[in-house]
Amino acid sequence: MRETKMSTHLSGGRLNVALVQERMRTELLNLLEPFKGAKATIWDEWLAGPVLLIAQYPLLKDHGVTEMFPLKPGNLPNISVKHIVFITRPKLHLMDLVANYIQSLRSKQTTPLEFHLFFVPRKSELCKKHLTNLGVLSNLTIHEFKCDIFPFESDVMSLELQNDFRENYLEGDPTCVYNAAQALRTIQQMYGIIPRVFGKGVAAKQVWDLLCRLNKEEQGQGPRGAATSCIDQLLLLDRAVDFTSVMATQLTYEGLIDEIYGIKSSTATFPGHKFVSPDDANPEATAREKKRIVLNSSEELFAEIRDCSFTSVGAALSKKARVVKTQMEEWNKDKSMQEIKQFVSRLPQILANKQSLATHTGIAEYIKETTDTFEFHDMVQCEEDFLNCVDNEKTCPFIEDLIAQKEPLTKVLRLICLQCVTGSGLKAKVLEYYKRELVQVYGLNTWLTLCSLEKCGLLRPQQGTRQYAVLRKVTLHLTMDETEMNAKEKSYLCNKYTPLTVRLSEHIAKNKGWTGIQDVLGLLPGPTVDELQTLQPRMARRNSISSENSSSMENPRVILVFFIGGCTHQEISALRTISQQEDSNVEFVILTTKLINGTTFIESLMENDSTK
């Protein structure tokens, strides 16, 4: 049986995120262990990608998992194993599928089967009652796979909650708040009690209050965890505090991959024709196939360019190409036997660099096909105008054209919502005009979506203070002219705009609190959190659970930024860039309920799928 090793790309930061992977992996394997012999797993499709970040198929195979199937409507093929393990979220519509599978398999199989259900992250009495009503609960053993957090990078973790913002703000379902609070309990149990807690927004206050209540209920006193913490500060940010950063198009390399192709569980899928190698035996077949590419910092080149503005990626790839070419040409030079041995030992890495360069050159070419279009330039210009409060009080001709051409509804709604949030609302006649046009072109069902957007604050009539205009220039300096930006800022700014969430994080890092921006906080929606958790003074991190890389006299402070309602790749890139600046003595670690972009965020609020 292979050794279960932690992923190296998860352990490069001050906070050893690989320990989360190890903990969750151990939990899963311990659940599977009692079922002796071959097992088949049937996965909730939403969970399959995230769980494979913890335990990939070869490891599961070593622990008896011989077959894996998605949990979706339809019949399964004949299964020749004794143990059938369902791994699913506690959702009622998924329980219907589980029941159908059990009934179908029992009617077809002649050999006895044992069914097991792993609820992720915890079981639901409502789901158990539903299974009872469906007549299958007695056929199941119920277990909890308490996987609160999925590790993506050494500085990124996600709860991967599918529709958390919708559930909390539209449906009044507090499950996501409970899951967020439990995730923070897990973090504090592993890394110690976080001494300072800040937050902004309704959901931030909900999570903090629930966390305090859960701690008191369990112990009758303070939070549970090591007395010395690897994390210095916690910043809870409600997504509703900053919609602007989600609606604007991400313009970093990784951000554009997500915008155009979508990134799910650190994997993106591309057309195959740019990845055909010269020595491919069947190039036509390869070109027709979709190419799935894992995108994480275990690949050196991707780690270098992921957070760069896409405009600078071409130069970075050219520089890398020259390095690879120089390395390959060394083979043709006269060498001693010792030099040949050294070259041969380096050859696998050189060839890996060459392959990586070819892969990202292909991806960049795909992205460029989109970014070079007039339509993309017009869209980015429209966004930039809104971000700079230009013409955001009247109907936008570009948006009118998109509606007339019946462009994808999500694309149109993103721009209208961006115009609304940057204008601190839309004038009543403009809002009514957009509503009328959208319903007329896209159908009556669009009205329900517009109502949802209004309910969560993305669409609203203009009234009172123009909050965004004040934040933009006077206080948090969200937008800048070309002359105001330094090279570092240019690398992550989206349309010369710095995400509000990033400015708040930066302020906490520099000032160790909200001092100096109380007036600004009053302009933002929701309550403010500023709390102290009781613990002993923090000792040096040496020999602690954090990364062994901590050896400097004054270690950078670690700030955990928890985005409740989702986080974009652009925001992560901005926080990384701030951490890497020479005068910075802080390292941000990002925890989010979900990795999102403007399109996926709008889709989660649309009223077109009864199973959401």
The confidence score (pLDDT) of residue 537 equals: 38
Check whether residue 447 and residue 401 sit in a common domain: yes
Strands 65-71 and 39-44: parallel
The separation between CA 405 and the C-alpha centre of its own chain, rounded to angstroms, equals 32
The confidence score (pLDDT) of residue 9 equals: 86
| Burial call 186-199: b when 16+ CB within 10 Å, e when fewer | bbbebbbbbbbbbb
State yes or no: pLDDT of 494 exceeds 70: no
Both tokens assigned to 112: 């006895």
Bridge partners (DSSP) listed for residue 114: 83
> Which residue would you say has higher pLDDT here, 553 or 106?
106
> Any idea what DSSP says for residue 240?
G
CB 81, CB 66: distance < 8 Å? yes
Mean pLDDT of 529-538: 72
State yes or no: pLDDT of 607 exceeds 90: no
Q: Distance (Å, rounded) from C-alpha 98 to C-alpha 128?
A: 12
Q: What is the pLDDT of residues 185-229, one digit of tens each?
A: 999 999 999 999 999 999 999 999 999 999 888 775 555 666 678
Check whether residue 365 and residue 381 sit in a common domain: no
The residues near 55 (Cβ < 8 Å, ≥ 6 apart) are 25, 28, 29
Answer yes or no: is 258 within a domain.
no
Mean pLDDT of 348-368: 93
Segment holding 579, helix H or strand E: helix 569-580
Q: Distance (Å, rounded) from C-alpha 506 to C-alpha 516?
A: 13
Q: Name the domain boundary from 124, 147, 170.
A: 147
Query: What band does 263 get if pLDDT is binned at 50, 70 and 90?
Result: very high
Mean pLDDT of 554-579: 94
What end-to-end distance do the CA atoms of the chain give, in Å?
Answer: 40
Q: Distance (Å, rounded) from C-alpha 359 to C-alpha 357?
A: 5
Answer yes or no: is 177 within a domain.
yes
The confidence score (pLDDT) of residue 117 equals: 98
Q: Distance (Å, rounded) from C-alpha 407 to C-alpha 405?
A: 5
Q: What is the pLDDT of residues 40-61, one digit of tens each?
A: 999 999 999 999 999 999 999 9
State yes or no: pLDDT of 551 exceeds 60: no
Range among 5-14, 373-382, 496-505 with highest mean pLDDT value:
373-382
Q: Distance (Å, rounded) from C-alpha 46 to C-alpha 65?
A: 19
The confidence score (pLDDT) of residue 41 equals: 95
SS3 string of 543-567? CCCCCCCCCCCCCCEEEEEEEECCE
The confidence score (pLDDT) of residue 555 equals: 74
CATH code of the domain covering residue 455:
1.25.40.850
Q: What is the pLDDT of residues 402-419, one digit of tens each?
A: 999 999 999 999 999 999
> Which residue would you say has higher pLDDT here, 328 or 243?
243
Bridge partners (DSSP) listed for residue 88: 119
State yes or no: pLDDT of 545 exceeds 70: no
Answer yes or no: is 253 within a domain.
no
Answer yes or no: is 494 within a domain.
no
> Which residue would you say has higher pLDDT here, 333 or 324?
324
The confidence score (pLDDT) of residue 226 equals: 61
Q: Distance (Å, rounded) from C-alpha 39 to C-alpha 530?
A: 49
- Strands in 267-270's sheet, in edge-to-edge order, are 263-264, 267-270, 291-294
Mean predicted lDDT score pLDDT of the chain: 89
Mean pLDDT of 332-343: 74
Answer yes or no: is 481 within a domain.
no
Of 152, 98, 87, 164, the closest CA to residue 120 belongs to 87
Backbone angle region of 543, left / alpha / beta, with phi > 0 → left and psi within -120 to 50 → alpha: left
The confidence score (pLDDT) of residue 285 equals: 78
The confidence score (pLDDT) of residue 488 equals: 53
The number of folded domains in the chain is: 4
CB 403, CB 412: distance < 8 Å? yes
State yes or no: pLDDT of 610 exceeds 50: no
State yes or no: pLDDT of 538 exceeds 80: no
CATH code of the domain covering residue 355:
3.90.830.10
573 phi, psi to nearest 5 deg: -60, -40
Mean pLDDT of 165-187: 96
Mean pLDDT of 319-325: 92
Mean pLDDT of 382-396: 93
Q: Distance (Å, rounded) from C-alpha 521 to C-alpha 528?
A: 7
Mean pLDDT of 108-137: 93
Check whether residue 52 and residue 137 sit in a common domain: yes
Answer yes or no: is 160 within a domain.
yes
State yes or no: pLDDT of 234 exceeds 80: yes
CATH code of the domain covering residue 210:
3.40.50.1910
229 phi, psi to nearest 5 deg: -110, 145
Both tokens assigned to 300: 């050196």
Check whether residue 23 and residue 120 sit in a common domain: yes
Range in 1-5, 147-151, 158-162, 514-518 the model is least confident about: 1-5
Answer yes or no: is 392 within a domain.
yes
Mean pLDDT of 468-478: 76
Read off the amino acid at residue 220. Answer: G
Of 531, 565, 528, the closest CA to residue 200 belongs to 528
Read off the amino acid at residue 192. Answer: G
Bridge partners (DSSP) listed for residue 153: 156
Answer yes or no: is 551 within a domain.
yes
Mean pLDDT of 133-150: 96
The separation between CA 392 and the C-alpha centre of its own chain, rounded to angstroms, equals 30
Q: Name the domain boundary from 104, 126, 147.
A: 147
The confidence score (pLDDT) of residue 493 equals: 55
State yes or no: pLDDT of 75 exceeds 70: yes
Check whether residue 323 and residue 388 sit in a common domain: no
CB 309, CB 251: distance < 8 Å? yes
Range of the domain at 547: 154-242+499-601
Cβ atoms within 10 Å of 172's Cβ, excluding its own: 7
Check whether residue 333 and residue 454 sit in a common domain: no
Check whether residue 395 and residue 425 sit in a common domain: yes
Q: Distance (Å, rounded) from C-alpha 497 to C-alpha 475?
A: 14
The separation between CA 544 and the C-alpha centre of its own chain, rounded to angstroms, equals 28
> Any idea what DSSP says for residue 54?
T
| Burial call 474-490: b when 16+ CB within 10 Å, e when fewer | eebebbbeeeeeeeebb
> Which residue would you say has higher pLDDT here, 128 or 548?
128
Check whether residue 455 and residue 505 sit in a common domain: no
Distances in Å between the Cα of 552 and the Cα atoms of 71, 83, 223, 347 are: 49, 51, 30, 34
Instruction: List the beta strands (DSSP E) in 471-585.
Output: 528-532, 557-564
The confidence score (pLDDT) of residue 463 equals: 85
Mean pLDDT of 111-116: 90
Backbone angle region of 416, left / alpha / beta, with phi > 0 → left and psi within -120 to 50 → alpha: alpha
* Coil, strand or helix at 304: helix
Check whether residue 158 and residue 143 sit in a common domain: no
State yes or no: pLDDT of 468 exceeds 70: yes
| Burial call 389-407: b when 16+ CB within 10 Å, e when fewer | beebeebbeebeebbeeeb
Check whether residue 142 and residue 185 sit in a common domain: no
Check whether residue 100 and residue 72 sit in a common domain: yes
Query: What band does 583 get if pLDDT is binned at 50, 70 and 90?
Result: confident
Check whether residue 110 and residue 229 sit in a common domain: no
Q: Name the domain boundary from 343, 370, 397.
A: 370
